Amino acid sequence: MLYVIVFILMGYTQVHPLGPILLSSFALSTYAIPISASIPVMVGDTALLGTAVGIWKAFVSLTAGRQKRRRI
């Protein structure tokens, strides 16, 4: 939800960019980092850990790429 606010502030207002950038950093620390850190707990098997992290990174890359294409 914080990322939505960040993108609205950067795209549709005349706010100085430093504010949304700082808010974006806070959003990253409250959303993506805890999810990435919990992957080993969710997987459990160390043999599948690399696959699980790879799937997560691919999902993040695909969604970020999709958002970037829509913006252009």
Output 65 or 1, whichever has higher pLDDT: 1
pLDDT at 36: 82
Quick: pLDDT tens for 12-39.
Answer: 999 998 999 899 888 877 777 788 888 8
pTM over the 0.75 mark: no
Quick: pLDDT tens for 37-54.
Answer: 888 888 988 899 999 999
Check residue 13 and report its DSSP letter: S
What is d(CA 12, CA 43) in angstroms, rounded to the nearest whole number? Answer: 40
Is the model's pLDDT at 72 over the cut of 60?
no
The answer to whether 26 touches 2, Cβ cutoff 8 Å, is yes
Output 5 or 63, whichever has higher pLDDT: 5
Three-state DSSP state, 6: helix
